[in-house]
Structure 1
Amino acid sequence: MSSDAVPVSLGKDRGRAQPAGRLGSALVIIVVVQLMLTIDLMIVTVALPSIGKDLGLGESGLAWVVNAYGLALGGLMLLGGRFGDTFGRRKLFMLGIALFTVASLAGGFAMSDWWFLTCRALQGIGAAMVMPNCLALILSLFPAGPQRTKAIATSAAASSSGAVVGLLLGGVLSTGLSWRWVMFVNVPVGIIVLILAPLYIKEQSRIRGKFDIAGAATSALGVALLVFGLSHAGEAGWSTVSVWLPILLGAALFVAFTLVERRASQPIMPLSLFADRNRVAAYICAVLVTGVMIGQSFFLTMFLQGPLGFSALLTGFAFLTTGFALVFSSTVVIGLMRKIGERWMTFAGALMLIAGNLWLTTIALDSGYWGTIFGPLALTGIGMAATLIPATEMAGAGVESGNYGSASSTYNTMLQLGGPFVLAILVTVLATAGRNVTVPAGVPGDRADYYVLTESMVSGFVTAVILSIGVAVTSLFIRRTTPAPTPTPTVTPAPVPA
């Protein structure tokens, strides 16, 4: 940090702790926002056929319904975190919510493809302003120790379960009402948050100095190109120029970004964040765990709606197993983590992921939900809680207050990149395995494609097992940490269900 980058206090009572009730209410607001943003990543997925029919979007256009949001979010995440550190975290939080809410309202009234896709991109920009500042606000509001651990666990559970809830909610809204309600549902939530946030969330200290414009440009474009290339690889294959060219350009921009950050007086992403072994382990776990979860959801969605014949709504209900397992195991994870530490908690979670995906390698054309899928989904939910809660805590541990936004945005960027990166690998494995499957003579003709799909998925789940083993190996490099001293009991967050 440069000599002219000095902390500036925003708020009249910066030195006094917030009352317990107000701090608990602040956590509720932050968690609700995180849940809304992660739900929005998946809520449109189930409604894509209806959206395409009404707005005249083909397959490539429907892909952009997802990618427009993901590219804006991934490309601007680092920028949103540093803007919060520089200009005020609550301010960026509220501006992002306002933009996200307006874009949701406008998108619900969309009458053409360009109108809707523009609103999806604006939603992504708003989310990029909000998401990194959610964790940064938690790190600012809660002192290190059990209070912060509990708040982070609640936050992580909300973020992780949001994708599952999004699938269900998208099915309910698009089936019972209209696809437009997958956009409208955000509006009342956003309005309530904009009213309550100034009352319960204090503005935090910020830093003042030179803003890293070169770092902002190279990071935004680099992440956007990587996300686009990796997402496109799943449908176009790795040999396509439109896949490997943006990936190479994105990688080159990241090299340039690293060089810029080494010389910047006030970097977007301080490279000192990577000097801590535990934090690097948290980043690796974030990429692998979220990628494995999204890949598993992708495969099982095809199986549930294919061979098993589930409707979109029933598929959403089927995935609630993961969400419930994650939420209910979070409290147990917090207690165990205090006793055995982040290393062994993460290792135990990795074993759950390994077991769940190993179980799924037994999937066959005649497999049922309760015998083959329910158990692995539950193990995945527990494994996610046991790995991502420690990872989220390690990502913010030991970070200077002026870098909370940068630390949060870096971790959230890893979460964002995990999905397209791992999914591209798994889809490539699926496609390669499918070309080598021979359909037995006894399989009916109308089930032949389902047979190929199911047999190919086995190779995908084997790959997911290998990636989960990577999480287990990474956990062994986590440095043992000493428990933080118990803070004074003047501020205690209210219990908040995720």
Structure 2
Amino acid sequence: MQFVDVLGVTVLVVALPAVQRDLVLDPATLSWVAAAYPLFFGGLLIVGGRVVDTYGRRAVFLGGTLVVTAASAVCALAPHGAVLLAGRALQGIGAAVAVPAALAVLLAVFPPGPRRDRALGAWTLSGALGGAAGFVLGGLITEAVGWRWLFAALVPLGVAVVLFARRAIEATKGTGTRPDVAGALLATATVILLILGFTRLGEHGLADWTVWLPLMSSASLGVAFLAVERTVRDPLVPPWVWSVGSLTLGGVVALVLTFVTSGANVVGTLFLQQVLGRSAGMSGAVFLAFSVAVALGSAVAATAVGRLGREWAMAAGLIVVAAAMTVGAAAVDRRALVLFLVSLVLSGVGLGVASVASTAHGTSTATDGNSGLYSGVLNAAAQIGTAVGIAVLLAGVAIGAGPPPRSLDATTHGQAVAYLLAGAVALFTAVTVALSTGLRRRHRPAARRPGDGAGEAAVDIDRHQRHG
């Protein structure tokens, strides 16, 4: 189900021109159709994680999967844009509770150690492949049988998952605590307004007040969210979470990875279709290189983590991703398909390695009582990174290309600017992770085997016990 839920973020990107033609959508509505799923998915993932802890893994997973399945049927049958938009939003809501529940099941089945690391590698691989496969399947299926089948095919798959999960997942009792409604509303509104602001930045530029209003409102609501979480009895995100170094670092790296790679892949899709004139099916086929590279990177991630340690593996993966963005900028500037393929391969390998390392690092101190919260935080970081990255890099394309009407040269210049921006973000994060890791290990009193996380785990678990 992780593969399907993450696939939903990217599967419609290549098919957007066909959707616009069939439903006669204006550009603004089309933009919201593209953003609705990752917006609600990312905005509600932390809420979903807390719902898992409150009501139990099995019940929440089944409920979330049923919502995704029903929403897929709505999308497949949508007669106009408003219904498709509602269906995509509903898909995101269902995925926001199903994904943390699925990861909580995995953490409950596999205790900390090599077996959990391998299981997390498979989990991360399925999500990364889902995101990568969305570009491929979106193009191929749209060209072969039409974009509606992107959603229709999910209905029998969802039913099969529900029937299997009813027998395979053991029923558990949740904590029974009441959800933090105020925190949930503030967190969701913060993310939605942030994405809205960056989306409008690409459409209207920096001078438009409709760009700054949602961005400033998002910042204000984010401060209000942090204040509320310190006062409510059972907060959505307990304040002690921000002091768990492994979870915070894992979440930041997960956010940056999807910010860079998802945003760059959307720009790359536009490059293939707008600049090189490739069809949707051909564009999807080109991204097979990225999918294979993600699988390869995830496969070697366990070895990288064992030899380097989780933090250094994250830094190494980010450096490879930064190099990929630089090659991508050169490919766009030269309109070179072969060079573009090289950038996809590098990006996929770096993403696979760093994603597995960040998930393993972020969940290294999770327990049965907080696994839903941990998985919600990590998945929320990844999906928020996707949604914000797409908005920011598309805004970078628009700003780099200059005001319309834009020539083909101006368009490629804007796309190259977006790739360079993505590479700068990845490189800055890699250097930050490396420097912080080096300083922390230099001051650590006792040596330990790379990647075991024993010192940090002891500190983090002690914090959990003291703060509940």
Both structures adopt the same fold (TM-score exceeding 0.5): yes
Match of 2:465 in 1: none
What does 1:250-329 align with in structure 2 at a 5 Å threshold? 250-329=218-297
Q: Deviations over 1:140-177 (max 9, x none)?
A: 22111111111111111111221221111111221111
- Greater helix content: 2
Name the Cα RMSD after superposition: 2.3
User: Does structure 2 conserve the Cα–Cα contact (< 8 Å) formed by 1:64 and 1:117?
Assistant: yes
Look up the match of 1:452: 410
- Residue of structure 1 equivalent to 2:461: none
Query: Could you tell me whether the CA contact under 8 Å between 1:144 and 1:484 is conserved in 2?
Result: no
The match for 1:474 among 419, 432, 453 is: 432
The reply on whether 1:157 has 2:125 as its aligned counterpart is yes
| Counterpart Cα distance in 2 of 1:405 and 1:131 | 9
Q: Structure 1 pair 355/75, CA: closer, same or farther in 2 (3 Å)?
A: closer
State the alpha-carbon separation in 1 of the partners of residues 180 and 154 from structure 2: 33
* Whole-angstrom CA distance in 1 between matches of 2:340 and 2:204: 29
Aligned residues: 443
Q: Which residue of 1 aligns with 2:358?
A: 391
Do 1:215 and 1:267's aligned partners in 2 also have CA atoms closer than 8 Å?
A: yes
Matched with 1:182 is 150
CA gap of 1:236–1:35, structure 2 versus 1, over 3 A, is farther
Q: Does 1:86 align with 2:44?
A: no
Indicate yes or no: 2:37 matched with 1:38. no
- Is the counterpart of residue 170 in structure 1 residue 128 in structure 2? no
Q: Give the percent of matched residue pairs that are identical in Structure 1 and Structure 2.
A: 31
Counterparts of 1:204 and 1:339, CA distance in 2: 37
Q: Secondary structure at the match of 1:457?
A: helix
Which residue in the other structure is 2:36 paired with? 68
1:346-374 CA deviation, whole Å, 9 max, x = no partner?
1211221122122233235554312x111
Describe the SS at the equivalent of 1:397. Answer: coil
CA contact (8 A) 1:287 1:417 kept: yes
Query: Residue 468 of structure 1 aligns to which amino acid in structure 2?
Result: A
Cα separation, partners in 2 of 1:233 and 1:385, compared to 1, 3 Å: same
Correspondence for 2:396: 429
* Post-superposition offset of 1:436: 10
Counterpart pick for 1:235 among 203, 210, 230: 203
What's the CA shift for 1:229? 2.3
The equivalent of 2:70 in structure 1 is 102
CA distance in 1, matches of 2:59, 2:131: 26
Residue 142 in structure 1 maps to residue 110 in structure 2: yes
Deviations 1:176-224 (A, max 9, x none): 1122111101111101001000211113452233432221222222222
Confirm or deny: 8 A CA contact 2:301 2:354 kept in the other structure: no
Larger radius of gyration: 1
Deviation at 1:333, TM superposition (A): 1.1
1:350 to 318, 322, 327: 318
Q: Is the 8 A contact 1:99 1:122 kept in 2?
A: yes
Report the residue type matching 1:170 in the other structure: G
Aligned to 1:405: 372
Deviation at 1:334, TM superposition (A): 0.6
Equivalent residues of 1:145, 1:484 under 8 A apart: no
CA–CA separation in structure 2 for the residues paired with 1:297 and 1:106: 27
Is 1:245 aligned to 2:213, yes or no?
yes
Query: 1:277/1:116 Cα in 2 relative to 1: closer, same or farther (>3 Å)?
Result: same
Is contact 2:49-2:372 (8 Å) kept? yes
CA contact (8 A) 2:308 2:451 kept: no
SS at match of 1:203: coil
Q: 1:152 to 1:473 in 2, by over 3 A?
A: same
Structure 2 stretches lacking a partner, 5+ long: 442-449, 455-468
Structure 2 CA distance for aligned equivalents of residues 239 and 161 of structure 1: 39
Question: What is the rounded CA distance, in whole Å, between the counterparts of 1:100 and 1:321 in structure 2?
Answer: 28
Deviation at 1:484, TM superposition (A): 7.1
Q: Which moved more, 1:451-460 or 1:36-45?
A: 451-460
CA distance in 2, matches of 1:316, 1:398: 39
2:421 to 463, 472, 477: 463
Q: TM-score, normalised by structure 1?
A: 0.84
1:417 to 345, 370, 384: 384
Contact 1:346/1:390 (8 A) holds in 2? yes
Cα distance per residue 1:52-108 (max 9 Å; x no partner):
233232111211212222332233222111011001122111101111111111221
CA distance in structure 2 between the aligned counterparts of 1:322 and 1:348, rounded to whole angstroms: 18
The Cα shift of 1:380 comes to 0.5
Matched residue type, 2:367:
E
3-state SS in 2 of match to 1:362: helix
Conserved? CA contact 1:231–1:420, under 8 Å: no
- Quote the Cα distance in structure 2 between the aligned partners of 1:71 and 1:365: 31
Question: How big is the shift at 1:308?
Answer: 2.0
Confirm whether residue 55 of structure 1 aligns to residue 23 of structure 2: yes
Question: Residue 341 of structure 1 is aligned with which of 291, 301, 309?
Answer: 309
CA distance in structure 1 between the partners assigned to 2:329 and 2:33 by the alignment? 32
- Checking the alignment, whether the CA contact within 8 Å between 1:97 and 1:190 is kept in structure 2 is yes
Task: Output the CA distance in 2 between the equivalents of 1:302 and 1:362.
Answer: 16
Distance 1:413 1:395 in 2: 12
Note closer, same or farther for the CA distance 1:413–1:468 as it changes in structure 2 (3 Å cut): same
Tell me the equivalent position of 1:493: none
Structure with the larger RCO, 1 or 2 (CA within 8 Å, 6+ apart): 1
- Indicate how the Cα distance of structure 1 residues 208 and 228 shifts in structure 2: closer, same or farther if over 3 A, else same: same
